[in-house]
Amino acid sequence: MIMDDRIAAYINSLDAGDGPLLDGIRKKAVADNVPVLRRETAALLKAMIALKRPKTVLEIGTAVGYSALLMAQAAPGDARITTIEKFEKRIPAARENFARADAGKRITLLEGDAGEILGHLSGSFDFIFLDAAKGQYIVWLPELLRLLAPGGLLMSDNVLQDGTIVESRYAVERRDRTIHARMREYLYTLKHTPGLVTSVLPVGDGVALSVKTAGAGQAGAPAVEGNSK
């Protein structure tokens, strides 16, 4: 845990829940070992949606639809959410959950690889929630910035890698070194891209909040610092 366990437990004990349907979806996802937002991250996501009040939302990483429904619940009634999922076994569950919530008209689920789909999207999004393959964040970033509207917010989850992000690459297991290096590069790039204002928060497994001001049409150069250890 990045946050002290007792502090996290106390914060989560204050949570009032999200209603029987969403709480049930979350409970089943946890029981089925499906990746789902940590409760403190879910609370932050709801707060950011309520603050931003986006009309257009893009999500990368649908899983079973919990976070998309959470955003739909917190967003204005006329908001539209586009969400992308690659893992075929989770797509039917997501569609079923959208139908149960009567959210089919507000949420559009795109099936396939995000790297391919992002390049074919047009228009702009007021809010982008990134919670998918961590090693691809830096690869997708130029397209995400292209699609993010001026004044829009990019929220990236799981950026601190259970705290291992601060370790030398040689202290990380060999199979995780590529993701480790790419995530460090991603965070460095978020903090050094002109026109992008980013705060990295130790909430859940780490969240980066990036606001697009001006001149942030594409990501900056790869970060040497991120790969130096």
Predicted confidence at residue 26, as pLDDT, reads 96
Q: Which residues of the chain have pLDDT under 70?
A: 1, 163, 166-176, 215-229
- Domains of the chain in sequence order: 5-227 (3.40.50.150)
The answer to whether the CB of 212 falls within 8 A of the CB of 196 is yes
**132 and 114 Cβ atoms separated by less than 8 Å:** yes
Tens of pLDDT, residues 71-113: 999 999 999 999 999 999 999 999 999 999 999 899 999 999 9
pTM as predicted? 0.90
Per-residue model confidence (pLDDT) at position 216: 60
| Residue-level pLDDT at 118 | 97
Question: Please, which residues have CB within 8 angstroms of residue 109's CB and are 6 or more apart in sequence?
Answer: 62, 65, 83, 84, 85, 91, 94, 95, 98
3-class secondary structure, 81 = strand
* H-helix or E-strand spanning residue 138: helix 137-147
Supply the pLDDT for residue 227: 38
The answer to whether the CB of 195 falls within 8 A of the CB of 216 is: yes
